[in-house]
Chains A and B, each alone.
Chain A
């Protein structure tokens, strides 16, 4: 069935290091993959997304890569800062609806 797996569930990095979060999806028809950042007690906010016709997209310190053959996509954060600490959700669109991954709690240690 429709499923999005996300790893790791928790991630701690030192400030300035890179962080990578990986997601896999099950429906090869999915063609849109957004990433959301949720700070404590707040709503998830879109930080970057990628469509299936490209393999990589960058926005300053954030990048997303997509491997359609392997059905996985990853979020890369470089030069991490304390304000990057949050829960990150990946998602894949199935038909008309999103399916979210379970989330990754990222902690950036000063």
Chain B
């Protein structure tokens, strides 16, 4: 996947459960991002991180949490506070200034 890997590809969550989506990159990118995409819709920014140990809320951060303990990894936790989590989640990474911006293959999360 061009050096950025998301797992799992499909994930099922029960009501009231927290789940964590993995995103790993070996491109030496400084910046990493999480987006949510609903069917037929565009990309909405959840969280982003420009450097290790620092991250910022995007447009729809409520009900989500992230960490950036390593440059290569930016996991996203979908908490029970997110009332409508069923969506396609995309991770992306890039150099400072947006160059080399690359998407992972996505995780499709479904609430059961």
Verify if A45 is at the interface (C-beta below 8 Å from B): yes
CA distance A46 to B50 in the complex (A): 21
B5 to chain A, nearest CB (A): 11
Nearest CB in chain A: distance from B66 CB, A: 15
Chain B: how many interface residues by the 8 Å CB criterion?
22
Given contacts A44-B43, A44-B90, contact A96 B105 (CB under 8 A): no
B43 touches A32 (CB 8 A): no
| Nearest chain A CB to B71 CB, angstrom units | 16
**What's the nearest-Cβ distance from chain A to residue B54, in Å?**
12
Q: Evaluate contact between A96 and B90: CB separation under 8 angstroms.
A: no
A97 touches B48 (CB 8 A): yes
Interface 0/1 of B75-112, CB less than 8 Å to A: 00000000000001010000011110111111000000
**Known contacts A43-B103, A44-B90, A44-B103; A100/B97 CB under 8 A:** no
**Cα distance, A36 to B98, chains bound together (Å):** 14
Whole-angstrom CA separation of A43 from B33 in the bound complex: 14
User: Which residues does chain A contribute within 8 Å of B33, judged by CB atoms?
Assistant: 97-98
Chain B residues closer than 8 Å to A105, beta-carbon distance? 40
Q: For residue B50, which residue of chain A has the nearest CB?
A: A96
Among residues 1 to 58 in chain A, which have CB atoms less than 8 Å away from a CB atom of chain B? 32, 34, 36, 41-46
Provide 8 A-B residue pairs closer than 8 Å at the C-beta atoms, listed in order of the A residue.
Answer: A43-B1, A43-B106, A44-B90, A46-B102, A96-B31, A97-B48, A103-B42, A105-B40
